[in-house]
Amino acid sequence: MNVIIAGESGIGKSSLINLITDQEVAQTSNDSTACTLQTRSYKFSIDGHDFLLWDTPGFDEGSMTVANARFPELMVRTLVQRLKNAGGIDLLVYCMHGNRAKTGLVNSYKVIRSLVPTTVPFVAVVTRLERYPNQIEDWWAKNEHELSNFGMEFADHACITALPDSSTLPALFRERLSHSRTTVQDLIRTNCCPYAISPTLVSFPSPLTTDDWLQKCTVCGYIRCVISHPDCTL
């Protein structure tokens, strides 16, 4: 299954991939500069299911020149077209910093959202929360309404830290790191359910009801087609 990781530059997309795979497979940077200049894929498995994680160049309106500002968009667009002919896209993970300015965040969200089919689950991963004063999941409860007001809607989310693992990390950081790995892997597994589609996108012909040919997946909560029906467009 194909999972695209996208977001702003220097946000920690490559670190997220290393967290998910539990290996140092993707090159990372110690600052906010971009270290991914082309799309790359990384294989990993969860519960016997194979995934390809696609790392993409970051969007960064502040430091880009006019000449190359559209480069990340072009790279993601090209990847989307490529994957449409190679099994499709099963999940889009939008990676964002918990403290990053909202304007760039919203703009990159809108661009990325416009590049993928609306049937693809679009989830958020909020990074760099290792120093968050409360439970890191509290970040979402505090900010979800504001994100929604900006038009940023997500099928699911995870609040994490993706620090490189080290025995020198404080105990709290190591605990949050371990929890973050499990949280993100669960996010991917539950939202990559085969044939999943957002419930808000489902329409069905009268006089049929959803009970006739649609059901809610007990794993991820998405609606999926369970029988072949001539009027089914899923």
Q: Mean pLDDT per segment of 10 residues, for the chain of length 234 residues?
A: 89 90 80 63 89 87 53 86 88 88 80 91 94 92 92 95 85 91 94 57 46 46 44 43
For the sheet containing 156-159, what is the strand order? 40-46, 49-55, 2-7, 91-97, 122-127, 156-159
Instruction: Write out pLDDT tens, residues 71-87.
Output: 778 888 889 988 988 88
Q: Distance of CA 233 to CAs 80, 91, 213, 227, 229, Å?
A: 21, 20, 11, 12, 9
Encoding tokens for residue 32?
A: 């906010």
Nearest Cα neighbor of 160 from 26, 17, 6 is 17
What is residue 105's predicted lDDT score, i.e. its pLDDT? 83
Q: Which CATH superfamily is domain 2-191 in?
A: P-loop containing nucleotide triphosphate hydrolases (3.40.50.300)
Q: 17 to each of 109, 184, 189, how far by Cα in Å?
A: 19, 10, 15
DSSP symbols for 97-146? ETTS-HHHHHHHHHHHHHHS-TTS-EEEEEE--TT-SS-TTHHHHHHHHH
Residue 158 pLDDT = 96
The label of the residue with tokens 């430091």 reads 63
For 54, 99, 148, the CA distances from 105, given in Å and listed in that order, are 20, 10, 13
Q: Do residues 189 and 49 lie in contact, with contact meaning Cβ atoms separated by under 8 Å? A: yes
Q: What is residue 29's predicted lDDT score, i.e. its pLDDT?
A: 62
Q: What is the pLDDT of residue 106?
A: 87
Return the domain boundaries, the chain: 2-191, 196-234
Instruction: Tell me which DSSP letter residue 232 carries.
Output: -
Report the pLDDT value the prediction gives residue 183, as an integer from 0 to 100: 95
| Residues near 233 by beta carbon (within 8 Å), at least 6 away in sequence | 203
Model confidence over 129-175: pLDDT tens digits?
998 998 999 999 999 999 999 999 999 999 999 888 888 888 888 89
Directed axis angle between helix 71-84 and helix 102-115, to 10°? 30
pTM of the model: 0.77
Q: How many residues does the chain have?
A: 234
The one-letter code for the residue type at 32 is S
CA angle 78, 108, 83 (to 5 degrees): 25
Phi, then psi, of 198 in degrees rounded to 5: -60, 135
